[in-house]
């Protein structure tokens, strides 16, 4: 997967960002992604009972517009969640953008990220709309990818070109997120654009599958946010339709882009120095494998051990043990960086200093293999747990 | 609840500790609690699928002995879990103690705490048995309470005297634990002795109720250990029977002792500076209230906010939102240190600098109230999350 500047971006999309003083740091905090023609859209949202106003409006708009999106309006610095005026703010800002673009208000998909519970002044955005519209002439995909960041240290983009029967189509995505990350069927914010043409039901199916293999397989801290949104737009500007024959190849490319983005979130977890890839196999089914992987990925003891390059596999088998799924500990092999540290549930002989050195890498792998007839497999990504996470999250909001 | 030295300990128990070189630090690491006559016993154990050898043997012994326990044999420094020889080690060491005491081997309740996956040399214990038996003459309750500690900074004991119809009985308990703490129906290690006489089924019921209100309501890091054991012994040495009339008062005293011990674990959480008490009310039922409380208590973002004295209630309502239970966010009030910070799901006006100062206390409270007809309530205890936790757990085992 290469960075988008080396590839062609999907046709028919324009981008814009402005600094609207929503966040204190002078860094663009409002962004617009516009599709020249209404795009077919699919989206998954947070499963948190507490849903931010933009999530609720995005869901309502998608229903009203029958899945058509002309623009994504996103701001960083304020989650517009748990506030008195949240719904009105989301509606008013979407309406202002819709008027400026000359499209129906329900074709605007809003998204917000930032602090929860602080009133957001809609005028900061509505007054910026003319400037935002003007910026569409020169704005870039990369500017938007940077404007949506909060505690992220790096921007996160991924793209693909896919040769279908009818011709080449392009997929490009961006995402953000570093803390409050355990999306569970959605993510913090992820936007994927393609210029392929495909019917809404198919896009929905492929988006769900892509999400399950990507955003639903990462955690930073086990905290599922109130604002998670993953939206996929398909505007057909390539003139290429995804045919029945192309579904698999297009779906796979979409999943790869989503997975690339999700892994970038895990790698950039708050305070993280290491990306941890967890592979579980031999579970009763994929869901059981994913539950074990998630339990390992969320264990602070596993994550601090990896931070300290400590081959403390006892914490790994312990975390698997409380995942809530059946397995026989006596059939478990565990490998770290491909070094077997646990065989049949017991300590294996290994070169501890050498493994410690191998674990100093910025990429660590945990393989958890249950011997037997189980076919369940899952891959999961998380990061190590360091003092940096505490520092970032223990500081006073103001 | 006072410390036991100010009260009378239960009659008919003797205590002993020795240093058997199981841990490196020269600090007693094997302890014995002996009941002069076989005590009626009830115990709850870890729900982790991976159970340590002493947990499995303790369960088998309790079945064989029909719930009679003459002695608890406990070691710190090695969990005797996920090792080749674990079962044999547990059996051999219990047998040596049984022979020395002249009681059936199935009346020994073993318990271990420490590192997982490292073979334990049984000779370290069996060779110490004569010394251990000799130490029973002078050993104290407090010595055992200290010998069972690992990363704990303080010992944890609690006791009560209860006036029943037949006379006064005494309850005294000790516990350990600081990390890998989210017991779920059991704890890391907790031993409670009483000289009351009561039938096994009643003791079992009262122990279950006490556990539910105590060890099942704490978390440090969400990690459920492989060795959790809470055992309650009742040897009747007071000559006082718990009658039908006394059940409630005795059960309440037992619950108070268990709760006191559990709270001490939360307060001494690895790296913790603050005890956090979470009270949830107005949920559909007690289980729903406990699920919300547990979700808040396990959120690293809530725990780091409290560490930083940050009244970041958005993280609290967010954590409640992914607890997996139904509630209307618009009906939620949240108070920190009795200061209302969220009313009906929205930001309340409060004196932020004053609250920040109040949150600098070593005891913090979070009240989460759902308005409406729900009668579900729960109290839950956890601790703040600091760099200390990372330091303690990120260091290499060796």
What is the ipTM metric for this complex? 0.80
Any idea which residues of B carry the catalytic annotation? 187
| Contacts with A51 from chain B: Cβ below 8 Å | 321
| Contacts with B223 from chain A: Cβ below 8 Å | 299-301, 315, 318-319, 322
Number of CB pairs, chain A paired with chain B, less than 8 A apart: 203
Nearest Cβ partner of B312 from A314, A386, A397? A397
Same domain for A205 and A279, yes or no, is no
Same domain for A138 and A164, yes or no, is yes
With CA atoms as reference, the chain A residue closest to B226 would be A318
pLDDT confidence tier of residue B77, bands split at 50, 70 and 90: very high
CB contact under 8 A, A304 and B224: no
Token pair of B102, please? 């002249």
CATH number for the domain that contains residue B387: 3.10.20.340
Same domain for B296 and B342, yes or no, is yes
CB contact under 8 A, A48 and B396: no
Helix (H) or strand (E) holding A263: helix A247-267
| Contacts with B47 from chain A: Cβ below 8 Å | 322
The maximal CA–CA distance of chain A, rounded, in angstroms, is 68
CB contact under 8 A, A300 and B222: yes
Same domain for A102 and A208, yes or no, is yes
- Alpha-carbon distance of A127 to A92, in angstroms, equals 11
pLDDT confidence tier of residue B106, bands split at 50, 70 and 90: very high
Q: For A222-256, write each residue's pLDDT tens digit.
A: 887 788 888 899 999 999 999 989 999 999 999 98
What per-residue confidence (pLDDT) applies to A398?
A: 45
- Alpha-carbon distance of B53 to A330, in angstroms, equals 13
- The arithmetic mean of pLDDT across residues B209-230, rounded, is 84
CATH number for the domain that contains residue B161: 3.60.70.12
Any idea which residues of A carry the catalytic annotation? 187
CB contact under 8 A, B393 and A301: yes
The domain boundary, picked from B267, B293, B318, lies at: B267
- Alpha-carbon distance of A73 to A54, in angstroms, equals 10
Same domain for A321 and A220, yes or no, is no
Q: Measured between CA atoms, how close is B385 to chain A, in angstroms?
A: 7
- Alpha-carbon distance of B231 to A397, in angstroms, equals 44
| Contacts with A318 from chain B: Cβ below 8 Å | 48, 50, 116, 180, 223-226
For chain B, say whether A102 makes contact (Cβ under 8 Å). Answer: no
Extract the runs of DSSP E, i.e. beta strands, from chain B: 13-18, 30-45, 68-78, 108-115, 156-164, 167-176, 189-194, 229-234, 275-283, 332-336, 339-343, 346-347, 363-370, 376-383
pLDDT beyond 70 at B125: yes
| Contacts with A322 from chain B: Cβ below 8 Å | 47-49, 184, 223-224
Contact A198, A241 (CB under 8 A): yes
- The arithmetic mean of pLDDT across residues A51-78, rounded, is 95
Q: For A334-390, write each residue's pLDDT tens digit.
A: 999 999 999 999 989 999 999 999 999 999 999 999 998 899 999 999 999 998 888
- The arithmetic mean of pLDDT across residues A295-301, rounded, is 92
pLDDT beyond 70 at A2: no
Instruction: Give the B window 134-163 contacts with A, CB below 8 Å.
Output: none
With CA atoms as reference, the chain A residue closest to B330 would be A82
Nearest Cβ partner of A342 from B117, B347, B389? B117
- The arithmetic mean of pLDDT across residues A294-319, rounded, is 92
- The arithmetic mean of pLDDT across residues A197-220, rounded, is 89
Same domain for A27 and A132, yes or no, is yes
CB contact under 8 A, A390 and B393: no
Same domain for A126 and A227, yes or no, is yes
Burial classification of residue A20, based on how many CB atoms lie within 10 Å of its CB (0-12 exposed, 13-18 middle, 19 or more buried): buried
What per-residue confidence (pLDDT) applies to B184?
A: 61
With CA atoms as reference, the chain A residue closest to B341 would be A117
The domain boundary, picked from B222, B238, B267, lies at: B267
Q: Measured between CA atoms, how close is A89 to chain B, in angstroms?
A: 15
- Alpha-carbon distance of A50 to A83, in angstroms, equals 12
Q: Using alpha carbons only, what angle is made at residue B379 by residues B378 and B383, rounded to the nearest 5 degrees? A: 140
Contacts of A144 (CB under 8 A, 6+ apart): A15, A16, A17, A31, A32, A33, A74, A174, A191
Q: Is the pTM of this model over 0.90?
A: no
CB contact under 8 A, B322 and A48: yes
Contacts of B239 (CB under 8 A, 6+ apart): B166, B167, B197
CB contact under 8 A, A315 and B116: yes
Q: Measured between CA atoms, how close is B268 to chain A, in angstroms?
A: 17
Q: Measured between CA atoms, how close is A68 to chain B, in angstroms?
A: 29
Same domain for B285 and B260, yes or no, is no
Nearest Cβ partner of B318 from A116, A307, A318? A116
Mean pLDDT of chain B: 90
Nearest Cβ partner of B301 from A221, A318, A327? A221
- Alpha-carbon distance of A244 to A250, in angstroms, equals 10
pLDDT beyond 50 at B1: no
- The arithmetic mean of pLDDT across residues B59-82, rounded, is 94
What are the CA-CA distances from residue B214 to residues A244, A262, B211 (Å)?
Answer: 58, 39, 5
Residue-by-residue DSSP string for B210-260 = HHHTTGGGB-SSSPPPSS-EEEEEE--TT--B--GGGHHHHHHHHHHHHHH
CB contact under 8 A, B300 and A391: no
- The arithmetic mean of pLDDT across residues A18-24, rounded, is 95
User: In angstroms, what is the C-alpha Rg of chain A?
Assistant: 22
Nearest Cβ partner of A386 from B225, B346, B390? B390
pLDDT confidence tier of residue A294, bands split at 50, 70 and 90: very high
Q: What residues pair up with A275 in beta bridges, in sequence order?
A: A363, A383
What per-residue confidence (pLDDT) applies to A153?
A: 85
| Contacts with A314 from chain B: Cβ below 8 Å | 79, 81-82, 115-117, 226
- Beta-strand relationship, A363-370 and A275-283: parallel
Nearest Cβ partner of B116 from A79, A222, A318? A318
Same domain for A67 and A158, yes or no, is yes
Domain that holds residue B378: 275-394
Helix (H) or strand (E) holding A36: strand A30-45
For chain B, first and last CA: distance in Å? 39
Nearest Cβ partner of B390 from A314, A347, A390? A390
> Is the pLDDT higher at B220 or at B78?
B78
pLDDT beyond 60 at B2: no
Same domain for B46 and B186, yes or no, is yes
What per-residue confidence (pLDDT) applies to B127?
A: 97
* Among candidate residues A325, A237, A179, the one with its CA nearest the CA of residue A11: A237
The domain boundary, picked from B267, B296, B311, lies at: B267
Contact B302, B296 (CB under 8 A): yes
Contact B129, B94 (CB under 8 A): no
| Contacts with B82 from chain A: Cβ below 8 Å | 314, 317, 329, 342, 345-347
For chain A, say whether B330 makes contact (Cβ under 8 Å). Answer: no
* Among candidate residues B229, B113, B216, the one with its CA nearest the CA of residue B173: B229
What per-residue confidence (pLDDT) applies to B178?
A: 80
Domain count for chain A, please give it.
2
Count the Cβ atoms, other than its own, within 10 Å of residue B153.
12
pLDDT beyond 80 at A183: no
For chain B, say whether A345 makes contact (Cβ under 8 Å). Answer: yes
pLDDT beyond 70 at A1: no
| Contacts with A336 from chain B: Cβ below 8 Å | none
Residue-by-residue DSSP string for B144-164 = HHHHT-SS-SS-EEEEEEEEE
pLDDT beyond 90 at B327: yes
Same domain for B285 and B231, yes or no, is no
Cα-to-chain-centroid distance, residue B259: 8
For chain B, say whether A224 makes contact (Cβ under 8 Å). Answer: yes
* Among candidate residues A151, A206, A204, the one with its CA nearest the CA of residue A181: A151
To test the contact with chain B by mutation, choose from A55, A79, A113, A117 the residue with the greatest count of B C-beta atoms within 10 A, namely: A117
Same domain for B206 and B285, yes or no, is no
What are the CA-CA distances from residue B95 to residues A123, B42, B125, B192, B325 (Å)?
Answer: 77, 21, 11, 23, 48
């Amino acid at each position: 997967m290469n960075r988008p500047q080396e590839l062609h971006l999907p046709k028919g999309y324009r981008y814009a960002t402005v600094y609207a003083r929503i966040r204190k740091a002078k860094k663009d905090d409002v962004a617009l992604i516009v599709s020249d023609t209404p795009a077919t859209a699919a989206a998954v949202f947070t499963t948190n009972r507490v849903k931010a106003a933009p999530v609720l409006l995005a869901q309502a708009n998608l229903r009203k517009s029958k899945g058509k999106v002309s623009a994504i309006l996103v701001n960083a610095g304020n989650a517009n969640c748990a506030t008195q005026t949240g719904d009105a703010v989301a509606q008013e800002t979407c309406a202002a953008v819709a008027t400026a673009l000359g499209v129906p208000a329900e074709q605007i998909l809003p998204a917000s990220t930032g602090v929860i519970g602080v009133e957001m002044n809609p005028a900061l955005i509505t007054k910026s709309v003319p400037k935002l519209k003007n910026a569409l002439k020169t704005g870039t995909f990369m500017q938007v990818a940077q404007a949506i960041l909060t505690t992220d240290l790096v921007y996160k983009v991924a793209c693909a070109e896919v040769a279908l029967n009818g011709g080449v189509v392009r997929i490009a995505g961006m995402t953000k997120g570093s803390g409050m990350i355990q999306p569970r069927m959605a993510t913090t914010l992820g936007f994927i654009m393609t210029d392929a043409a495909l019917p809404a039901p198919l896009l929905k199916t492929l988006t769900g599958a892509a999400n399950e293999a990507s955003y639903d397989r990462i955690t930073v801290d086990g905290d599922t946010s109130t604002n998670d949104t993953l939206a996929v737009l398909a505007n057909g500007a390539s003139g290429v339709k995804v045919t029945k024959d192309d579904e698999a190849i297009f779906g796979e490319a979409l999943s790869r882009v989503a997975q690339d983005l999700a892994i970038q979130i895990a790698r950039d977890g708050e305070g993280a120095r290491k990306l941890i890839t967890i592979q579980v196999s031999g579970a009763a089914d994929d869901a059981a494998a994913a539950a074990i992987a998630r339990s390992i990925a969320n264990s602070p003891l596993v994550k601090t051990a990896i931070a300290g390059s400590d081959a403390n596999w006892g914490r790994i088998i312990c975390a698997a043990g409380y995942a809530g799924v059946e397995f026989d500990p006596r059939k478990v092999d565990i490998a770290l960086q491909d070094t077997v540290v646990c065989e049949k549930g017991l300590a294996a002989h290994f070169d501890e200093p050498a493994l410690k050195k191998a674990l100093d890498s910025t990429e660590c792998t945990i393989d958890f293999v249950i011997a037997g007839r189980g076919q369940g497999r899952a891959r999961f990504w998380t990061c190590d747990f360091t003092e940096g996470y505490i520092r970032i999250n223990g500081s006073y909001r103001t």
